Amino acid sequence: MIRLTGVSRTFAGRSGTVEALRGIDLEIGEGEFVAVLGRSGCGKSTLLRLISGLLPVTAGEVRVSGERVTKPRRDIAMMFQKPALLPWRTVLDNVLLPMQIFGGRKAAHRDRAHELLTMTGLTGFEKRLPHELSGGMQQRVALCRSLIANPRVMLMDEPFSALDALTREELSGELQRLHMDLGTTIVFVTHSIDEAVLLADRVVVMSARPGRIAEIVEVQLPRPRSMTDPDFNGYRVRLTSHMEKEVMRANAAEVS
């Protein structure tokens, strides 16, 4: 579904060129859930923007369904850390917003919107405004909005990081269930090792800037998953070890 070949990205800054990503080679299968894990500034969010077509690559290429990505695509949805709901629109109208932007008839997609709201526990809140919802409920609305167009690929940039621990765990469970039901290909950026193990089929560990793939860990736990699974801690320890090695390499590089 997604193929990155020799992907690099640099940015021009006041003090010179900043190399965010270097030589990324990665293939993601249809229906796969891949988590991208790494320290701040390693290029995780940049990687998502390159896949989405929001940013062009400096070198290499990104392909989705065999087609080279040069601009945003309708079959790729992106969800950010903040829900970014329009405050004057109801929950239902926020969910339907992409269909209006794409020129679709809003009425034709109401059934799908109601189905998604039911799947995410938002039945009865269709006419509420964003300020009447908790942070977790707002993110559920943003998730429904991302899914309304039935995207083949969902890119998620730390969507639960601003939430409290209990709400974050609850939404991780909801996302796990949705992925099992819908089979959407998901690339999920996170700082949380627990979140990565709970959700992903594979975890891509990124090095410090310039971001490169340091390790890929396949998570072979049955779904639905729980952090109480007896094998869960083994993956946590393994990924923690990889992350600590990358921190040590980055610190050594800064000293030298």
The span from the CA of 48 to the CA of 17, in Å, is 20
Identify the CA nearest to 171 among candidates 125, 138, 211: 138
- Shortest CA distance to 147 belongs to which of 77, 236, 48, 90? 77
Q: What pLDDT, on a 0 to 100 scale, did the predictor assign at position 16?
A: 84
pLDDT of residue 105: 65
Q: What is the mean pLDDT of residues 106-132?
A: 91
What integer pLDDT is reported at residue 254 of this predicted model? Answer: 66
Find, among 95, 77, 66, the residue nearest to 185 by Cα.
77
Average pLDDT over residues 186-204: 95
pLDDT tens digits for range 48-61: 999 999 999 999 99
Which position has the higher pLDDT, 107 or 6? 6
| Domains contained in the chain, CATH given | 1-75+163-256 (3.40.50.300), 85-150 (no CATH)
Q: What is the model's pLDDT at position 206?
A: 95
**Cα–Cα distance, 200 to 167 (Å, whole number):** 19
Between CA 49 and CA 56 the distance in angstroms is 8
Contact 201, 219 (CB under 8 A): yes
Conformation bin of residue 35: beta by default, left when phi > 0, alpha when psi is -120 to 50: beta
What's the confidence (pLDDT) of residue 56?
95
* Mean pLDDT value across the chain: 91
On the question of pLDDT at 108 being above 90, the answer is: no
Rounded to a whole number, what is the largest CA-CA distance in the chain? 61
User: So what's the pLDDT on residue 248?
Assistant: 78
